[in-house]
Homo-oligomer: A and B are copies of this chain.
Amino acid sequence: KTITALADLEGKILKITKTGPSNLRNLGIKRAVLNIERGILKVTENFEGQTVSCFIALAAVEEEYREKKEEIKKALFKIPELSKILKGKLTIGSDQLAALKAGTDKKDGVILIAGTGAVCHGWWKGEEAKVSGWGWLNDEGSGFWVGQKAFQAIFKALDGRGKKTKISEEVFKQFNVKNKEELMAKVYGFTDSPEDNFVKNVSLMSIAVDEAAKRGDKRAREIFTEAAKELAKSAVLVIEKLSIEKEEFPLIFVGKMFESNIVFKEVKKGIKKVAPHIELIR
């Protein structure tokens, strides 16, 4: 999804809208720009004032799309309705930096994101360090990562290659399917946008894993504990790269994965061991 907010010069938010996804990695520039366009038009609809500055925070833009910022800008300015609105300053930047600013007023800190993808990014006195965040095929500890493990666990259990797990039951319930064929059709279901099918559907399975874990399912708990260890590892590495083990700094947790207490507790434990003075912001 793409969240677009209109704020006044004091920073007061006047309006917030939600449009389709704009992840460059999953959609490509053309489709992403379309949803950004929709967001800006929607948020400025009936707005009588003048816009002076626009910041677009995008996933993957500081990774493999760094060289494409100008192309994205041009694509946005090409849209007549939009170029009228975007007369002011237009900046394209990282969703990670935006998340830090959303979580703290402090200049420096570390942000650990675990939603569909996962990344840890830290800023300290002009230095910057980033670990993980290489897309849904990697991103150890992310929702997709957990969902893929869950999907594998389900079929291993059905095949007799792995132990029975309550994850199957929970996933079947979640997707409202009766058998494995229906589950597969649901997960792989082909549409033109990968974001609409497997990336989203696989990530959603992490919710069923949480349910199964709450019911005491062993495999579900193992997957979540492993995810938490991977997330803690990337945060610890960022902290070590910035040499801020002994500093006081905010660590901001963003993303659905931290709604699971198993994950949050385990990640916290792993990080606190290395950097005891951090201020945790969830």
A interface residue numbers (CB < 8 A to B): 25-28, 31, 63-67, 131-132, 134-135, 137-138, 140, 148, 151-152, 155-156, 159-161, 180-182, 184-185, 187-188, 190, 192, 194, 198, 202, 233-234, 237, 241
A181 and B137: CB pair below 8 A? no
Give the docked Cα–Cα distance between A76 and B160 (Å).
Answer: 37
Give the docked Cα–Cα distance between A257 and B132 (Å).
Answer: 29
Contacts of A184 in B (CB 8 A): 25, 63-64, 134-135
Question: With A26-B190, A161-B234, A234-B161 as given contacts, are A155 and B134 in contact (CB-CB < 8 Å)?
Answer: yes
Give the docked Cα–Cα distance between A198 and B135 (Å).
Answer: 12
A185 and B64: CB pair below 8 A? yes
How close is A86's CB to chain B, nearest CB, in angstroms?
24
B132 and A159: CB pair below 8 A? yes
B140 and A152: CB pair below 8 A? yes
How close is A95's CB to chain B, nearest CB, in angstroms?
16
